Amino acid sequence: MLKSRADRYGAVAVSIHWLSAILIIALLGSGFRAANAGDAAAKAGILRFHIPVAIVVLLLTALRIAWWRFDRKPLPVQGSPRWQERIARWIHLAFYVVILGMVASGIGMMVLSGAAPAVFGAPGAILPNFTQYPPRVPHGIGGFLIVGLLILHAGAALYHQFVRRDRLLRRMWYSG
C-alpha cells in the first residue's frame, strides 16, 4: 500500500516521515556538536557529514510536499478535539517552515562565508568563524525550534498511544 487510506498513512508517507525523523535528529546532534567544536578540523569533519545530510532532508521535505498532491492524508483520529487537530496541523506546518528556513540559512552561511573549500578539504583553506555571518542567528534559533517541535510532536504521539490508547502510532507505520 503505497498511498494512504482514510485510517492510515501509506508506505511512501511512512518512509519519508521516519527517514526524515532519523536524519533530522542526526542533523541536530551534528549541528550542536559543530557549533561547540573548538577545533576547526573537527568542525569541518562534522560539517562534511552535516551538509550532505541536510541536502537529503531538503529533498525528502520537497518530496513530502509534492507527495501530498498525489496522496490523501488519513482522517483525524476519531474522538480527537478540534483544537488538537488544529495544533497538529500548525506543528506540521511549522516543521516545514523551520526545515526550509534551516536549509536556507545553512546555504546562506556557506555562500557568504565561502566555507565550502575548507569544509570539503581544499588544501590550505581555512574554516571561517560562522558567528560573523548573519544567517548563523536564524540557523541557531531554528535548531532550538526543531527540538521544541520534536518534543511537542513526539509528546502528542505518546499521549495518543499511551494515555488515549487510540493507536495513533500504528497509523504512521507500515501496514502488516
Residue 5 within a domain: no
Q: With bands split at pLDDT 50, 70 and 90, how would you rate the model's confidence at 124?
A: confident
Residue 4 within a domain: no
The pLDDT tens digits for 46-86 are: 999 999 999 999 999 999 999 999 998 899 888 889 999 99
Per the document, the length of the chain is 176
Q: What is the mean pLDDT of residues 144-153?
A: 98
Please state the φ and ψ torsions of residue 46, each to the nearest 5 degrees. -65, -40
Residue 3 within a domain: no
Q: Which residues contact 14 (CB under 8 A, 6 or more apart)?
A: 172, 173, 174
Q: Domain limits at 15?
A: 11-171
CA distances from 101 to 23, 58, 82, 138 (A): 16, 10, 28, 8
pTM score of the predicted model? 0.93
Residue 82 within a domain: yes
Output the domain CATH number for residue 48. 1.20.950.20
Closest alpha carbon to 142 in 48, 57, 52, 56: 57
Radius of gyration of the chain (CA): 19
Residue 53 within a domain: yes
The pLDDT tens digits for 158-170 are: 999 999 998 888 9
Q: With bands split at pLDDT 50, 70 and 90, how would you rate the model's confidence at 136?
A: very high
Residue 58 within a domain: yes
Question: Is the CB of residue 91 less than 8 Å from the CB of residue 152?
Answer: yes
DSSP string computed for 144-161: HHHHHHHHHHHHHHHIII
Number of domains in the chain: 1
Residue owning grid cell 493507536:
167
Residue 55 within a domain: yes
